[in-house]
Amino acid sequence: MNKYSMTYNIRWSDLDANGHVNYSAYVDATEELLYRFFSEQGFPPDVFLKLGIGAVYSSITANFFREVRVGESISITYTLTGLSPKGVRWKVHHDILKSNGKKAVVIDMEGIFLDLNSRRPTLPTPEILAILQQVPHSQTFEELSEARFIR
């Protein structure tokens, strides 16, 4: 598998005051994709909550190429572009494609795992790390440093 993907239908509530898809709707859809992937691997969101661990974004970069309108169906791909050895830090890449296959948006995200009680970065469980390692890797995959996160 080169990429993991899902289809998303643009809803009226995804639009901003200008009639464009609000960037936060794209981010929300990519979060849905992340949790869908983990759920398909037997690790649904409620397991994260029981463990007191959450995946949070520390950086989001979006580049917009084509307008997407209400009612359109888009495809969102998911690849892992970076991971630290112990898994506390990770990077993912999303291509958001219109139904004609043309690229509408590219979103790159960097994230960490957060201890929901202490609100500090934490190591993922071995199960979470194993699932994260199953995310299709990009051709530009890199090993990330975790020095500032692990003490």
Q: What is the pLDDT of residues 80-97, one digit of tens each?
A: 999 999 999 999 999 999
Q: Residue 15's beta-bridge partner residues? A: 21
85-119: buried (b, 16+ CB within 10 Å) or exposed (e) per residue? Answer: eebbbbbbbbbbbbeeeeebbebebbbbbbeeeee
Q: Residue 137 belongs to what H/E stretch? A: strand 137-143
Model pTM score: 0.90
Q: Taking residues 112-139, report their average pLDDT.
A: 93
Q: Which domains occur in the chain, in start order?
A: 4-142 (3.10.129.10)
How many angstroms separate the CA atoms of 112 and 91, rounded? 9
Cα-based angle 88, 91, 97 (whole degrees, multiple of 5):
145
